[in-house]
A and B are shown apart, each in its own frame.
Chain A
Amino acid sequence: MTAPSRAPTNRDENWKYANVRALSRLPFEQAADHSATDDPATDPLSVELPTKTMECRLVLVDGRFSAILSDALPNGATLDIQPAATDTTPITTALGLNPVDLHYLHVNQKGRRETLNLRVLAKQCVQVEILHVATRIGQPAINVQLELGAELTLIERHLALGSGAAATNLALAISLAERSTLKLARWQHFVSAASYIETLDLSLGASSQCYLTHITSADRGDTPVSSRSTAFVTHRGQGAALHWNSAVIADGQQQHDSYVRIDHQARRAQTHQLFRGIASGRSKIGFNGHMLVGDGAHGTHSGQSLKTLLTGIEAEANVRPQLEIYTNEVTATHGATVGKLDGDMLFYLLSRGIDQVTAEALLKWAFVSDVLIHLPSVELRHHIEASLVRQLPGAIAAQGSTT
């Protein structure tokens, strides 16, 4: 196990563009000490939860599983809530990591109250929604395991609510056994002020397939929001395939930063990575796509398309594709752009009588639609569209009504 690390700073390569100052002030460690005797969330929340996107929904409130708010799992899956004191699972099995990148995982391990273990049994097909509700401090920990040939459609929603600033530090570990398939849609949805940190550890077995779509957005541009996502993906088995599609829509002074490390350790693995970011106002977006192809990972195929749109005069975007290849017979492509709205497209829409605000919103919508089309749930897509109405007025509702 990697030794616990110091908190990252902007001098650390993979944290250059993260809002580390704000993140380091979050009281995760104090919360762990002082809330040790809290009961799990049992009271219905004072706010109304969003409608479900799947028949089975599991709800966590500030990192703790709520049996009252959750549904029974469908056949083919099991759920085990393990108290933190008995959890001896290694912090990660990924290799060659920079210890500082694991800092918040260590903080989570120390401060988590329990671990949810969701297992999909061999050759079973299951659909589940996990709703994280953040109202104050929470450090959820979730392990998801797909057994041989299992299929899981998992909608994971993070909803920051409440009157105060919520803070979440999530540890999510997912393991796909041979020939299993995961369709994972993740939505970080900020309704109120919040800070969000997560560490995702994803392990892909032979011939497994993972379709991951990740959306980060806030209902309002003036909501103070800061997020950092760290992901370690390991292709462990031959012929595994990862389709990673993520989009960030930021406004105001929001800051979102992601570091995604994808390590190809087995032969003939594939990764298709797409990132789209829109930075408006004075927001900052960072995305670091780090692709490794290890010695012996012959026949690897990887492609990266990272694009960011700057629509605010003081907005910033940093997108970095990184390739490290230590073997032959590899196909690897990458591209990264930071640009503005296309003037020709904008004039075309204006020349059809569409007002400036709607025309710009339409083009922003078109920009992120590359990612949104991969969402495995129409219901979730409608929820996301509805939440984006404030930031992309006119575009979303109209697009949704005609598609």
Chain B
Amino acid sequence: MLEINSLQTRIGEREILRGLNLTVKAGEVHAIMGPNGAGKSSLAYTLAGRPGYEVTSGSVRFDGADLLALAPEERAQAGLFLGFQYPVEIPGVNNVYLLKAALNAARKHRGLPEVDAFEFLTLVREKMRLMQMDESFLSRGVNEGFSGGEKKRNEILQMLVLEPKLALLDETDSGLDIDALKVVANGVNSLRSPDRAVVLVTHYQRLLDYIKPDVVHVLARGRIIKTGGPELALELEARGYDWLLADAA
């Protein structure tokens, strides 16, 4: 589904990713861990097409297509979803409109007609129940006045409504209490299927207690320096990153 080869990026003059390779197959859940400043969020932003992240070499194939040739909105329409670490607040644009517009954009890309109002609200209400969100969130501005936990739930709600092929979740667990973490994990697990994939960027093993990864990677100094199974996350929790960084050096 996702094939990244020798990806190098920079912001301004600063090199961020330095020859990163990663392959994610349909049906898999990958966790990317690593120390602060390793390039984890930059990888997510680069894949989503955020302005300012310049790709200097390498390639990214998503579902057979050249992802880097697509505009950010085309990447989303093609089935890529980025769950933000810090979701922005957009007062004046209400949540329900954003959801509807985003869903219709994805449907249009797939050659489907726009969703009708009843069908849409039925779908959204079902997903909101799963995320234990009050319906009043729908009429509020996007993330406006939401707590940190509410913002993260809202990100997962959007993901569930859009049903992307590949979800990149950037530190979705940060700022969540244990109950909220379970709700968010439950939402992510409900999306797991043989034809979808999830890439989790996280600092902590605790998220992986609830979302079992198939593959765990360590990203440091702009590249993947170690790959393993779920046991790697436990080892990192116990030993930290220094031993890997020393080996990589």
Within 8 Å of chain B (Cβ to Cβ): is A50? Answer: no
Within 8 Å of chain A (Cβ to Cβ): is B209? Answer: no
* Chain A residues within 8 Å of chain B by Cβ, number: 28
Within 8 Å of chain B (Cβ to Cβ): is A211? Answer: no
Give the Cβ gap from B48 to chain A, nearest Cβ, in Å.
5
Within 8 Å of chain B (Cβ to Cβ): is A344? Answer: yes
Within 8 Å of chain B (Cβ to Cβ): is A354? Answer: yes
Main secondary structure of the interface of A (DSSP, over half): helix
Within 8 Å of chain B (Cβ to Cβ): is A315? Answer: no
- Inter-chain CA distance A356–B93, complex, in Å, is 15
Inter-chain contact B51/A402, CB cutoff 8 Å = no
Give the Cβ gap from B12 to chain A, nearest Cβ, in Å.
15
Inter-chain contact B73/A366, CB cutoff 8 Å = no
Inter-chain contact A366/B102, CB cutoff 8 Å = no
* Chain B residues within 8 Å of chain A by Cβ, number: 34
Chain B stretch 63-116: residues in CB contact (< 8 A) with chain A: 71-73, 75-77, 81-82, 84, 87-88, 90-94, 96-98, 100-102, 105-106, 109
Interface hub of A345, A350, A363 (most chain B Cβ within 10 A): A350
For A344, list chain B residues within 8 Å (CB). Answer: 88
Task: Known contacts A350-B71, A350-B73, A365-B92; decide if A398 and B101 are in contact (CB<8 Å).
Answer: yes
Inter-chain contact B93/A365, CB cutoff 8 Å = yes
- Inter-chain CA distance A366–B50, complex, in Å, is 22
For B36, list chain A residues within 8 Å (CB). Answer: none
- Inter-chain CA distance A350–B76, complex, in Å, is 8
- Inter-chain CA distance A363–B109, complex, in Å, is 23
- Considering only CB atoms, which chain A residue lies closest to B74 in the complex? A353
Q: Which one of B96, B97, B106 lies within 8 Å of A353 (CB-CB)? A: B106
For B97, list chain A residues within 8 Å (CB). Answer: 362, 398-399, 402
- Considering only CB atoms, which chain B residue lies closest to A394 in the complex? B101
- Considering only CB atoms, which chain A residue lies closest to B95 in the complex? A402
Within 8 Å of chain B (Cβ to Cβ): is A27? Answer: no
Task: Known contacts A362-B93, A370-B92; decide if A343 and B51 are in contact (CB<8 Å).
Answer: yes
For B94, list chain A residues within 8 Å (CB). Answer: 399, 402-403
For A355, list chain B residues within 8 Å (CB). Answer: 73, 105
Inter-chain contact A348/B92, CB cutoff 8 Å = no
Inter-chain contact B88/A345, CB cutoff 8 Å = yes
- Considering only CB atoms, which chain A residue lies closest to B141 in the complex? A366
Within 8 Å of chain B (Cβ to Cβ): is A349? Answer: yes
Inter-chain contact A354/B73, CB cutoff 8 Å = yes
- Considering only CB atoms, which chain B residue lies closest to A355 in the complex? B73
Q: Which one of A343, A345, A398, A403 lies within 8 Å of B90 (CB-CB)? A: A345
Interface hub of B75, B94, B100 (most chain A Cβ within 10 A): B94
- Inter-chain CA distance A351–B90, complex, in Å, is 14
For A347, list chain B residues within 8 Å (CB). Answer: 50-51, 72
For B73, list chain A residues within 8 Å (CB). Answer: 350-356, 359
For B48, list chain A residues within 8 Å (CB). Answer: 351
Q: Which one of B49, B109, B162 lies within 8 Å of A352 (CB-CB)? A: B162
Inter-chain contact B90/A354, CB cutoff 8 Å = no
Give the Cβ gap from A277 to chain B, nearest Cβ, in Å.
15
For A352, list chain B residues within 8 Å (CB). Answer: 73, 76, 98, 101-102, 105, 158, 162
Give the Cβ gap from B169 to chain A, nearest Cβ, in Å.
13
- Considering only CB atoms, which chain B residue lies closest to A370 in the complex? B92
Within 8 Å of chain B (Cβ to Cβ): is A369? Answer: yes
For A359, list chain B residues within 8 Å (CB). Answer: 73
- Considering only CB atoms, which chain A residue lies closest to B142 in the complex? A348
Within 8 Å of chain A (Cβ to Cβ): is B139? Answer: yes
Interface hub of A349, A362, A370 (most chain B Cβ within 10 A): A349
Give the Cβ gap from B59 to chain A, nearest Cβ, in Å.
21
For B72, list chain A residues within 8 Å (CB). Answer: 347, 350-351
- Inter-chain CA distance A370–B162, complex, in Å, is 29
Within 8 Å of chain B (Cβ to Cβ): is A358? Answer: yes
- Considering only CB atoms, which chain A residue lies closest to B139 in the complex? A403
Q: Which one of A348, A353, A370, A403 lies within 8 Å of B77 (CB-CB)? A: A353
Task: Known contacts A351-B76, A355-B105, A356-B73; decide if A363 and B100 are in contact (CB<8 Å).
Answer: no
Per-residue CB contact flags for chain A residues 352-393 toward chain B (1 = under 8 Å, else 0) read 111110110011011101100000000000000000000000
List 20 other contacts, CB 8 Å, given A352-B162, A356-B71.
A345-B90, A350-B49, A350-B72, A351-B82, A351-B84, A352-B73, A352-B98, A352-B101, A352-B102, A353-B73, A353-B162, A354-B98, A354-B102, A354-B105, A362-B90, A398-B100, A399-B97, A402-B97, A403-B94, A403-B139
Q: Which residues of B contact A (CB under 8 A)?
A: 48-51, 71-73, 75-77, 81-82, 84, 87-88, 90-94, 96-98, 100-102, 105-106, 109, 139, 141-142, 158, 162
20 contacts across the A-B interface (CB closer than 8 A): A348-B142, A349-B90, A349-B98, A350-B72, A350-B76, A351-B49, A351-B72, A351-B76, A352-B76, A353-B73, A353-B109, A354-B98, A362-B101, A363-B93, A365-B92, A365-B93, A366-B141, A398-B101, A399-B94, A403-B94
